[in-house]
Structure formats: structure tokens, C-alpha cells
Structure 1
């Protein structure tokens, strides 16, 4: 049985974010596609015109209709366009994996008040450091992150998610909880944290723990690969 794994990085990142993960998955026999979403190319022009819908279309286009199974891996902010893909194409995703993120509810926007064409990493760096999301990253990894990060297209941060098909709620999935535990994930969702509200709606999600920071593809790549492969085989 042929299985494709599509790796989608979160804000500021391109396909390079998966450089430690993709080869290990390929060595296990998976067809691996690591994506750089529109506007996140280093020399992208017109970044301010890129929309959340553009990102959703790019993810959907990457799903190979010719394989037996398609596994969609979404890190962080990629959950927004990824949830749109589940809504539009629930039949094309056999398993979805959320890496320190979760499916979002209809109408959710990351930051509807954001102004400007771009959202650079520099605007969030101090908060990310203070919140501990960079936990277990080496100085070299932090430096590489800052050097290679590309400003996130502003539209993908402001645009609300529009969801129409409840079939998305039954797509089998795994949430890999890293910066916070699975217990915390459930608790925060129950408390009404908007980014995690989708956990209350989806009916086929397993939550597993991988204690580290928000970027396990760098801090714990081998362990992350093991969890992705385990989920992909379900």
C-alpha cells in the first residue's frame, strides 16, 4: 500500500523546516512532500496579496490522488488552511496529524486585527522566547530560524476560516502535544481557548504527548518521525 505524507510548516517557514524529518520518513518507504506555501518563498513578490485560501489550495493540490493513503501533517499555524482542506476534501485525507496545534472552528482567525501586508518573526520573537516555545532549541537552531524565517503573509493571519462540511469532523487524526501536555490541551479547549475549540467538535482525534518546545521537527525529530509513522499506519 502506497502512502503519501504531506508536511506543512507553520508561520515563517518553508519546506526546509522539515529537513531533519523528511529523509527519515522517506527511509521508511513513505512518499514525502514538504511544502513551502505561497508567499513564504525567500524572494516572494506580492506577499501582501496572498490569502488563507491560497494556502488551502496549495495544500489540496499537493495531495496525490494516485496513492492509496494520504496523511496530512500540519504544524502550528498551518492548522488554519489545513482545516479548510479537511472541510473541502474530507475524502482526500485519510489521516491528519496536528503538530502542537489543533483543528480550528468556523470563523476563527489567528489575528483579525493585524495591520500591514506581512507579519514578521521579529514581531513575535520575544513572546515566543518568553513563553518557552523555543525550549530545547540550540543556539545554532535559533540562529538558523531567525536567518531563514520569511515574513508571514498578512492575509493568512487576518483571514477567517470558513467551514461548511461537517464530514471534516470525522476525519481520523492525531494531535501531537509538545509545548503543552494533552491534559492541558483538553483543559484549555474546555475553557474556551479559541485556537483549540476544534478539539471539542472533532470526533476521531487521538492526543499524544511529546514533551519539548513548539518546534519538535528541530528539537526532537526522531521522536516526531516515530509518532508520525505510527499515526500514518492507522
Structure 2
């Protein structure tokens, strides 16, 4: 009687305003690689949820843990894009034993005390996707066609205010021992590592990671749309390093 060792589940978590749909093209390529991957929509980003604007980072972290539990509570590969870094950082802090590797896509771990939008007024229930002129000042839109931008606009869901105002509290140093891959897109890996060494607030936690490798995938901030095949290959490569 033979025993089959299954590969870890890859859980794809998109950033602000996005749901599982954002990973559709990447998932198609990962299926070709025979990877076991699922994409999730975080609480607060389901437009059909009547309570979505009240969802918190804790709700989002618990939703990720629920997906891991549904797959047997076996250590998973977490793929976190952009603003998904806050809930994924909470998951790694609370249950590092359930994360075999984290793959940050044009993103990275947050530091304790981080708040994404501390100046967002309390009366603001949520934050809609801004105009693309404003968004382009915050993140690179390189590689995104007019058709892709139109789909982004049509399917984007406003980010819940509580998610953006909640302070991230991290206490477990074991989070820094989790195997980590940075997929660097709008900023090169050389720049990211230089900023981390310099103590830049956005990248300081990278300098504390004990098991780190990097992959450069030059493109804009949304590589799941601009270079989906290459991103799928990068994710597959990172996941394979833990087998």
C-alpha cells in the first residue's frame, strides 16, 4: 500500500478592492502546473454582504484560517498581493505553524503598529477605488490595458473603513522564521532590500526575515493582470521550494 503525499494548498489573497476574481488568469496557469490553488474573497470585499463595511482585519485573518482548516489544517502557501499584507501578517503571527511559505506579490510583511489609512475619517464607512489618475500616483498601472482597467473599475468593491483604520498588533517572533518569497514587480528586489536595510517603514520588516528569497517580475502593481503566466510560474517556483 502506497501513501500519496499531497502538495500544500496555495491560497491566493488579493489586495484592496479585489476579490477572488482578480486571480482568474493566474489560477488557469497554476492548474496547468498541477498546483492545488484556491483564490479567496476576504470579508468586506463581497458586494453581496450587507455587513461588508463593518468587517475588520480580524475577520479577514479568520477567513484565511478557515480556508486552511477546510483543507485539513495542513501548512499552506499564502500568496498575498498588496494590501492583503495586513491580514496575512496577522495569520502568520497567530499561527506560523500553519504557513509553509508566504509569497508576497509586490508587497511584504507589515510591522506591528501599522495602520493602512490612519487619517481615514471615522464617519467614512469605506474607501471606494479612486480615479486611475490618483491611483497611478500611488501604484504603477504599467501593463494594464483599457479593457483591464474597465474591468477593475466595474468589479472593484470599496475597502471597509475598519480594515483601513485598524492597527496591526504582532507579538510572535516565530512569524519571521516562516519561509518567505518576495515577488518584486513595481520596485526591484535590489531596491526593496536596500530600503529594508535602511529601515524604511514600508519595508523594515523584510530585514527581519530569516528565510528569504526574491523573484523579480518587472511590471506594474497588478501582475495578475499584466503578466499572469509569469506570476503563476513565480508562485509555482516558490511553492516548489518547500516540497
* Fold shared by both chains (TM-score > 0.5): yes
Structure 2 residue aligned with 1:71: 77
Q: CA deviation at 1:207?
A: 1.7
Assess if the C-alpha contact under 8 Å between 1:33 and 1:62 holds in 2: no
Match of 1:232 in 2: 239
Match of 2:179 in 1: 172
Q: Distance in 1 between matches of 2:93 and 2:232?
A: 26
In structure 2, the partner of 1:58 is 63
Paired position in structure 1 for 2:95: 89
Distance 2:160 2:197 in 1: 31
Q: Deviations over 1:34-57 (max 9, x none)?
A: 000111112222233111111111
Asked if the contact 1:94/1:172 (under 8 Å) is kept, the reply is yes
TM-score (norm: length of structure 1): 0.94
Show the counterpart of 2:109: 103
Whose Rg is larger?
Answer: 2
- The answer as to whether partners of 2:75 and 2:97 remain within 8 angstroms in 1 is no
Report SS of the residue matched to 2:76: strand
Instruction: Structure 1: state its 5+ residue gaps.
Output: none
**How many aligned positions are there?**
233
Q: What secondary structure sits across from 2:213 in the alignment?
A: strand
What is the RMSD computed on CA atoms of the aligned residues? 1.5
Runs of 4+ in structure 1 over 4 Å off: none
Q: Distance in 1 between matches of 2:202 and 2:104?
A: 12
Question: What corresponds to 1:118 in structure 2?
Answer: 126
Question: In 2, Cα distance between the equivalents of 1:40 and 1:174?
Answer: 26
TM normalised by structure 2 equals 0.91
Alpha-carbon displacement from aligned partner over 1:152-184 (angstroms, at most 9, x marks no partner): 011111111111111110000100000010111
